[in-house]
Amino acid sequence: MRYMVKMNERFKDWKYPEFDEKGKVVILGAGGLAREVYWIFCDVNKAEGAWEVLGFIDENPANWGKSLCGIPILGDFQWFESANTKSEVKVICAVGSPRARRSLVKKAEQSGLSFITVAHLSVQASKYVDIGIGTVVAAGCILTTQIKIGNHVYLNLDTTVGHDVVIQDFVNVAPGCHISGNVMLREGADLGTGTVILQGITIGKWSVIGAGAVVIEDIPDNAVAFGVPARVVKCREQDS
């Protein structure tokens, strides 16, 4: 089932499920991105009062029991078993690396956990935007029209997405990126801060685009590209 955190009146045309009481959510990850996602929930709660964030999940035992932003690092995935909370808690994965995110999502799915999707109150989007499960849209993003965003995507601060863009699962978009119309970001693509992609370009699966790059031609799968204009400088190990 898809769960979407209700955002504000700009999204009134979207059909979100209604919640009679506060839901409970746990954030997968305990780094900087996880703290930023917690901030999104804090701001959503100021307007909606919708979610109780129980804490963070971190697979490093040295961090268990510590506190971030005033809430605890609960433990690893075994916490869900010991707390007997699977049926009532939703999760969101807040890890920047697309491959690491995919790994955590797989563990969560194997544990029988359900994901939600969340966006900051300041996001602007038309009703013609389709967003998959587990996706995060950070503050200041603008999404125009006929956009399809997959599952477990992260759109970071002040990103703009033009018409007819397709963003596949596990894509990571760093702050300040500008994605022109008819662009395709294939599974696991990772865009560095301030990347600009011209209209009609395809970024291949699991490719990395360096910060500040201007992409004017298609980038193949498993490539690393940077510069103005962006050029492929090496190939990564093929994803399995």
pLDDT, tens digit, 9 for 90 and up, residues 73-129: 999 999 998 877 767 899 999 999 999 999 999 999 999 999 999 999 999 999 999
Q: How far is CA 94 from CA 24, 29, 56, 153, in A?
A: 16, 5, 10, 10
Question: What's the domain count of the chain?
Answer: 2
Active site annotation includes 163:
yes
Q: Is residue 230 part of a domain?
A: no
pLDDT at 137: 97
Q: Stretch 37-66: mean pLDDT, rounded?
A: 91
**Catalytic-role residue among 120, 152, 163, 178:** 163
Any domain includes 232 = no
Cβ atoms < 10 Å from Cβ of 198: 16
Report yes or no on 236 lying in a domain: no
Whether residues 102 and 34 share a domain: the answer is yes
* Residue pLDDT, tens place only, 21-34: 468 999 999 999 99
Query: 105: domain range?
Result: 3-10+18-119
Same domain, 87 and 29: yes
Domain shared by 79 and 144, yes or no: no
Q: Does residue 183 come out as left (phi exceeding 0), alpha (psi in the -120 to 50 range) or beta?
A: beta
98 in the same domain as 131: no
CATH number of domain containing 156: 2.160.10.10
- Distances in Å between the Cα of 229 and the Cα atoms of 8, 188, 218 are 38, 22, 12
Decide if 106 is inside a domain.
yes
Please indicate, yes or no, whether residues 100 and 26 belong to a single structural domain of this protein. Answer: yes
178 inside domain: yes
What tens digit of pLDDT does each residue of 159-172 get?
999 999 999 999 99
Is 201 part of any domain? yes
The CATH number covering residue 108 comes to 3.40.50.20
pLDDT tens string 116-153: 999 999 999 999 999 999 999 999 999 999 999 999 99
Please indicate, yes or no, whether residues 128 and 113 belong to a single structural domain of this protein. no
Q: Looking at the predicted structure, is the pLDDT value of residue 18 above 60?
A: no
